[in-house]
Amino acid sequence: MTDFFLSLGMSYEFAWFTATISGILLITLPLLLAVAMIIYVDRKVLGAVMMRRGPNVVGPFGLLQSFADGLKVFLQETIIPSASNKVLFLLAPIITFTVALAAWAVIPFNSGAVLADINVGLLYVLAISSLGVYGVVIAGWASNSKYPFFSAMRAAAQMISYEVSIGFILVCVVLWAGSFNLNDIIEAQRGHGLGFVNAFAFNPLLFPLFVMFLISAMAETARAPFDLTEAESELVAGYQTEYSSMAFALFWLGEYANILLMCALCAILFWGGWLPPFEWEPLYMVPGWIWFLGKTFLFFLVFSWTWATVPRYRYDQLMRLGWKVFLPLSLLFVFLVSGYLMLTRYGV
């Protein structure tokens, strides 16, 4: 893109700056539109499972419902509790929203279609997604209210617990692909499954890791059945209790952007990213970004379906699953995957 702006007669520095800003906008604006649409999809899936219609009034088929809700919260008054830490109270949703968007910088939408194609892309995603807990913890503490504070403590424990097992799962994927670069990880999946399926998920050693990653992603994003941070039957609305107007909307946008990120990572790490499902030439006629978005949307439907059907875990069950089941299992698979690769790939 920098070359295009250079051809318009710009200096290199200005062309690079313009190309970078354009790339950021090309990711951010469609992402925000996608968040509005998946909130609509979420509500439609919940409606279908509960045998009701879901949003169906605003716009054709209710498609504009999310925009109407966005306009409503934009016009509301921002209420700041008198006993809160006002600076941190307003900073928390900004942190959550910004961190959720920043992780998308290294996500490849197609071969070469990535804002920052860095060698340590997977480490960057892991580091950035770990920062999301700061917004939740700061929101709970700055509200100076008991329920939000309980929620903040829950969020910190929950996200740390599942990040550990996610880290070990990613180690196995990196060992098999031989790279931290997300494009390289996708390329390593070409024809990997049964010789013609573009996916790591068809590998008997990596499929259990995919299942653990999917469940851990739900817990990491505090998505049902692991939404203990905003359990309405216990904590009113958790860390969001004292928030209104656009501050509340920023939490909502950040939460769904994180959910989409985890769905995208499921597609990239285990299901071939922008590659077609099968190594068959006619399938390559479909642009890679369509395959990528289709797989991401499919995983989001799994998230919605789980929310609609699985009851919420108790907190002790949540912690037991993270520390006593997923952590030992992910460690075992690091041993199995590395041992298998040492025997077969490196001949040790």
Q: What is the DSSP string of 36-83?
A: HHHHHHHHHHHHHHTTS--S-SSSGGGTTHHHHHHHHHHHS-----TT
Find out whether 40 and 66 touch, Cβ atoms under 8 Å: yes
Residue 312, in any domain of the structure: yes
Residue 58, in any domain of the structure: no
pLDDT surpassing 70 at residue 106: yes
Distances (CA, A) of 284 to 29, 187, 198, 281, 292: 27, 14, 12, 5, 12
- 247 pLDDT band, cuts 50/70/90, is confident
- 233 pLDDT band, cuts 50/70/90, is low
Find out whether 188 and 179 touch, Cβ atoms under 8 Å: yes
- 340 pLDDT band, cuts 50/70/90, is very high
Residue 46, in any domain of the structure: no
Question: Is pLDDT larger for residue 187 or for residue 2?
Answer: 187
Distances (CA, A) of 76 to 69, 89, 94, 242, 268: 11, 17, 18, 14, 39
Give the structural domain span for 203.
Answer: 76-346
Kindly report the number of other CB atoms within 10 A of residue 80's CB atom: 16
pLDDT computed for residue 182 by the predictor: 92
CB neighbour class for 321 (10 Å; exposed up to 12, middle 13-18, buried from 19): buried
Any idea how long the chain is?
A: 348
Residue 138, in any domain of the structure: yes
Residue 6, in any domain of the structure: no
pLDDT computed for residue 156 by the predictor: 84
Q: What is the b/e burial string over 179-216, where b = at least 16 CB atoms within 10 angstroms of the residue's CB?
A: bbbbbbbbbbbeebbeeebbbbbbbeebebbbebbbbb
Residue 7, in any domain of the structure: no
* Pairwise CA distance, residues 187 & 85, whole Å: 48
Highest mean pLDDT among 169-178, 215-224, 279-288: 169-178
Structure tokens at 176: 């098999």
* Pairwise CA distance, residues 217 & 230, whole Å: 17
Least Cα distance to 143 among 10, 29, 240, 264 occurs for 240
pLDDT computed for residue 267 by the predictor: 94
- 231 pLDDT band, cuts 50/70/90, is low
Task: Mention every residue, 6+ apart, whose C-beta is less than 8 A from residue 334.
Answer: 168, 171, 172, 175
pLDDT computed for residue 328 by the predictor: 94
Averaged pLDDT, 106-133: 88
Please list the alpha-helical segments (H only) found in the chain.
2-6, 12-49, 65-75, 86-102, 121-142, 146-177, 182-187, 207-220, 232-235, 245-270, 288-309, 315-320, 327-344
* Pairwise CA distance, residues 321 & 327, whole Å: 8
Find out whether 169 and 220 touch, Cβ atoms under 8 Å: no
pTM over 0.85: yes
The residues with which 113 forms a beta bridge, in sequence order, are: 110
Average pLDDT across the chain, whole number: 87
Per-residue pLDDT of 71-101, as tens digits, reads 888 888 888 888 788 888 889 889 888 998 8
- How many structural domains are present in the chain? 1
pLDDT computed for residue 14 by the predictor: 83
Residue 120, in any domain of the structure: yes
- Assign 219 to helix, strand or coil: helix
- 184 pLDDT band, cuts 50/70/90, is very high
Residue 61, in any domain of the structure: no
* Pairwise CA distance, residues 268 & 296, whole Å: 9
